Structure formats: C-alpha cells, structure tokens
Structure 1
Amino acid sequence: MSTRIDKEDKILGFIIFGFWGLLICFGIISLINPRWLSKISEPGRISESNDYKNMGDIAMRGKKYSEAIPNYLMALKVNPESYSALGNLGIAYSKMGKEDKAIATFEYLIKKIPEQKNVAYINLAMLFEKKNNFEKALYYYKLASEIDPFPIFAFNRLGVLYLKTQNWEKAAEAFQNSIKDETNMEYIYKGMLKKELQNTKDSDKIKLLSSYLEKENIKKDLKKYDKSVFTEYTQHNKNLAKSYRNLAYAYKQLGNYEEAAKNLKKALRIWPSFSKARKELKALETTDIFD
C-alpha cells in the first residue's frame, strides 16, 4: 500500500513541479527536447539518431537554423520514427522562411503522431497567419483550442485574428475563454494532468491520471499547494493584461462601453504602465474613439 501511495505522490509531485514551471515559461511553444520524446532507451540507431537530433537542438538554440536542418534530416534518416526531430525540422524550416516545407512537415507529423497534433496545429496556424492566410490560420487555431491541454495561446491568437477581420463578437468570446483559463488555478492543474496523460504510455500512470481527471471537484487536491505563486503570476502577467485590453477593444467595437472600461481597468491593475490601455481608457471616459 505504501509503495503505491509513494508512486502516486511521485507522479503528482512531478506534475505540480511542472505546474509551477509552466507559470514561469507559459506561452512558449517549442518542440526542442520535448519530454514526450526525450527519453528513448533503445541502443544503436536510435542512440545515433538522438545524437544528430541533439546537435540540431543546439544549433536551433543558437538560431543557426541552416545547421539544424541537416542534423534533423540525418536523425530521421537513421531513425524515421524520431518524431521530435521531425517536429523540430518543421520549426527550423519555418524559421528559415521555408513555409511550404514547414507546412508539409507538420502535416506529416499529424499523420505520424496524432496524439501530439495540437502542437502541429499551433505551428501550422502560426505559419498560415504569417502568410496572411487568416482563413486557414483560424481553422488550425480552432482545432488546437479544442484539444490542447493549454489552449490559452490558441484562444489569444483566435481573438487577435478575429479583431483583424472585424468579427467583434467572436473576438470577445475568444479573449473571454483565454482569460477564464489563465486565471483559473484548477484549470491549469487539470491541464497539467491532461498533458501528462497525453504524453505517457505507463499503464499505472494513465490509470492514476484518469482517476484525478474524473473527479468533479479537485479543490481539495489543490489545498496542499501554495497558491501564492499562482496569484503572484496572475497579478503581474503582462500577457493577461494584453488579453483584457484586447477584450476591451472588442467590447468597444460592439458598443458595450461599460465592459470595455471595466476590462481596461483590469489590464491597468496588472500593468499600470500599459500606455495603450491607459490612453484608450482616457479616450473612452471622454467619449473619444479608440485609435
């Protein structure tokens, strides 16, 4: 019994460690050394493939994308099942401005490893957004928002694109979803559970994670953790402030000035020197029009 409990504590402790780590690096989308593929024990060709993949990662971190690409290609030549090399190859192509090759790579990744397609969806959406193909960008951001354990980034980009296409109601909805998720500790915790469930093949871990996700109320589980870190994060999160400002802009365009002002004030409480939000609040209070 104690062994099982120790194992559960170890698994959940790891998730909580990742939970707090997420607050530090939240919003960064990368496939470099992903935990879901970083530990491969098979010797020989897989070890050799990992060596090439690691050299590619080093080059990527140094923004030497032209050096990273041949290393990822060699990793895939040695081991065609190196999905992390495949994903990072797509990112390298994107950074090099080779959008068509990047798109083809991520589309192939979706077919090869569907359990990680949310990552591919996000990267595809970003590529199409860069090409000003808003229709396809919206399509992939929507797909990502439906399955990603942490769809906050996807919701934010949906909101921005809806603002650009003047779809004010959908923009407001997207930013509302983003803010709701980013300010809810229970949601973040569940997201970590879902992410671990998505990435593991260990049957005991799958059973444990599934049991926690099936709980209707996980507030008791969160009581033993210090919430001050999360509170501090939300109170100083400039990205959250930007979401409130963007939501305010959507409300302004819809003619809901009261909600617009309310959300601008929330943005300024988080980021008092947010000049755009302060300017827009002043304009709103003097019945001027936003820029």
Structure 2
Amino acid sequence: MVERIMQDWLNKAWVHYIHDRYEEAFQCYVKALTISPNNIEALYGLGNIYKVKRNYTKAFELFEKVLAFSTDNEQAWNGKGATYNHMGDYQNAIKCHEKVLEINSTNINALYALGFIYRDLKNYKKAIEYFENVLAEQQGRKEEMGLNKLFSESKSTLYYLGNIYEEMENYEKAIMYYENALEMDPHDFNIWDKVGALYLKIGNDEKADYCFGRGKSKFFKDFFDHINRKVKKPKPKSTIELLKQGDEHYEKKNYNQAFRYYEKVIEFSSSNKEAWVKLGNTFCKLNNPEKAIECYEEALKLNPKSREILADLERVKKEVK
C-alpha cells in the first residue's frame, strides 16, 4: 500500500515535470521522499528541477547522492553532464556523458547530449558521429518504441543532422536529411520551408516553389481560411472530450495524434484558448517553434492578461533567436 502511494507521487511528479510545472513536480517528489527518503527516482527528479532553476549546487548534491547509492546510475551521470552543460562547462559535461557510455554504449540521452555539445563547439564531425549513432539506436529499437515514437524521435535526429550540414553549408546533404525527416512527418511545415530555402540557395527554383507551397505560410493561410469559412459545421458531442483525447496522446508522446485532436477542437471553436495553447505546446514537442509562437499569439489574443501564455510565448521566442 505504501509502495503504491509513493509510486503515485512519482507518477504525478513526472507528469507535472514533462509539462514544465516544476513547482508541482517538486512538491510531489518531496512527498515521495517523505515515504522513502533515499528513493533514487525522486532524488534524481529533484536534481533535474534544481538544474532547470539554475541552482546548480543543489542539483549536483542530489545527483551525487544518487551516485552514492549506485555509482553506475546512468541518469545521475547524465544529470551531472546536463548541469555542467547549463553552466557552460563543456569539458566536464563531456566527461560525464562519456562515463555513461562506458556503462552503456547505447544510452541515447548521452549520445544526444554529446551530439549537441560538439555541435555547439562547432566540432561538426564529432556531432555528426554521435547523432548518427542515435539514429542507429532509434532504428534498432523499432519494436520497443512503437512507430509513433520512432517516427517522432527519428525525425528530430534527422532534423538535427540537417541543421549541422546546413551550418557547414553542405546544402545537398542538409536537404537529404531534412527530406528524410519529412518522410517521417510530411506535415512538418517548418522543415518544408527550410528545404525550400536551401533549394533556392542551390538554384533549384522549381523545387523551392514546391516546398514553400507545402510550408508554414501556406499551411496557416489554408488553416485559418478553413476555420473562418462561413459553413455550418456539425459540432462534436464534446470539445472537452477531444481535448482529453489529445492530452492522452500528448502524455504518451504521440504528438502527431495529439495535434490532430487539438486541431479538431479549433476547427469547431477557433476561440478555444486552451486548444491554442495545447496546440502550441505540441508544436514545441514537434520541433516547430515558429508555429508554436503563432498558436501562443492566438491564445494571447483571446486572453491578453494570461501570464502563463505570455511566459510560454517568451520562452519559445528565446529559443528561436
């Protein structure tokens, strides 16, 4: 009974954490620790929250506490590495993530982290090596991950590889990876625009026009035209039920499915600010910050005094700078 109560607190903490509700997550982890003071999952979770809040001393203290119980705890080593990375101490971050790979050479989080660090250090060769390893691991876990998660995560990795080749000005390679990402998710309008811009750079105007026709500006024009069209549409039995179904897919990380439910709510009620916010959150998870910004702006028009929506909007705008 006690074990089940503790697990409930841990589950609630995780749901709050992935939705960026850090204060609520913090309280849930504390509740779990009152039941089991040395619970590794709760200690690690609190360490992550302190890292996000930039209280690096407390974050390190908690990760070290986990490692005192289990020196080979991959999450704690990754947590330390991520904290060093937040601090701009890339060398120590690399050491921590490499320690994880010594323990488990297939740890995707460590491979990802090293890919991002080397990309930021402009060591593109090493970054590509790590992202290619991530891609190989994702493809090898097809049955374990399920198709929805595989497509979502593989698309992200392909997108990052495209970014790197674009920074290297190897536009043909960048296009190849972006187009592979679009095979995973042909509705990613941000990538269509990126590919269109690259085709312009290499002088292929015809393909550029096609890509821009599939891109963000075309999507939003068609989307809003559809919403504002003066045609009587049958209302669903409950937009609340549609939102609930979208939330269920969102929590399972089935972001493409979540997108469809939130979009459906907006089709029936373009003044539903909650759906606009949730659609914005989903676009963030699908690595489309530009579209997320437009959704948050729509939500803010409907509720101009909302501090939460404004905070979401400002956070995403910082990410695209």
- Normalising by structure 1, report the TM-score: 0.55
Choose from 107, 111, 130 the match for 2:64.
107
* Structure 2 residue 43 is the aligned partner of structure 1 residue 86: yes
Contact 1:141 1:157 in 2 (8 A): yes
Where structure 1 has 5 or more consecutive residues not aligned to the other structure, the ranges are: 1-46, 193-228
Cα–Cα, structure 1 residues 275 and 90, in superposed 2: closer, same or farther, change >3 Å? same
Which residues in structure 2 correspond to 1:46-85 (within 5 Å)? Answer: 50=3, 53-54=6-7, 56-57=9-10, 60=13, 61-62=15-16, 63=21, 64-68=24-28, 70-76=30-36, 80=38, 82-85=39-42
- Normalising by structure 2, report the TM-score: 0.50
Cα–Cα, structure 1 residues 56 and 94, in superposed 2: closer, same or farther, change >3 Å? farther
1:162 is aligned to 118
Deviation at 1:178, TM superposition (A): 0.8
1:275 is aligned to 189
Q: Give the helix-richer structure, 1 or 2.
A: 2
Aligned partner of residue 273 in structure 1, secondary structure: coil
Deviation at 1:76, TM superposition (A): 4.9
- Once residues 85 and 230 of structure 1 are traced to their aligned partners in structure 2, the CA distance between those partners, rounded to angstroms, is 27
* Structure 2 residue 163 is the aligned partner of structure 1 residue 249: yes
Deviation at 1:85, TM superposition (A): 4.1
Cα–Cα, structure 1 residues 112 and 260, in superposed 2: closer, same or farther, change >3 Å? same
Aligned partner of residue 201 in structure 2, secondary structure: coil
- Once residues 278 and 145 of structure 1 are traced to their aligned partners in structure 2, the CA distance between those partners, rounded to angstroms, is 35
Q: Could you give the per-residue CA deviations for residues 206-256 of structure 1, whole angstroms, max 9, x where no partner exists?
A: xxxxxxxxxxxxxxxxxxxxxxx855654xx23311211221222334454
**Aligned positions, number:** 197
User: Percent identity, aligned pairs only?
Assistant: 18
Where structure 2 has 5 or more consecutive residues not aligned to the other structure, the ranges are: 204-320
Deviation at 1:123, TM superposition (A): 1.9
Deviation at 1:55, TM superposition (A): 6.6
Contact 1:53 1:85 in 2 (8 A): no
Choose from 132, 138, 141 the match for 2:97.
141
Q: Could you give the per-residue CA deviations for residues 125-179 of structure 1, whole angstroms, max 9, x where no partner exists?
A: 2333333433333332333244347522322232222222211111111111111
Contact 2:26 2:46 in 1 (8 A): no
Deviation at 1:114, TM superposition (A): 2.4
Read off the aligned partner of 2:118 and give its amino acid letter.
Answer: Y
Deviation at 1:182, TM superposition (A): 0.8
Tell me which of the two structures has the higher relative contact order, counting C-alpha pairs closer than 8 angstroms and 6 or more residues apart: 1
Which residues in structure 2 correspond to 1:15-34 (within 5 Å)? Answer: none
2:275 is aligned to none
Contact 1:65 1:95 in 2 (8 A): no
1:265 is aligned to 179
- Once residues 266 and 240 of structure 1 are traced to their aligned partners in structure 2, the CA distance between those partners, rounded to angstroms, is 9
Cα–Cα, structure 1 residues 83 and 69, in superposed 2: closer, same or farther, change >3 Å? closer
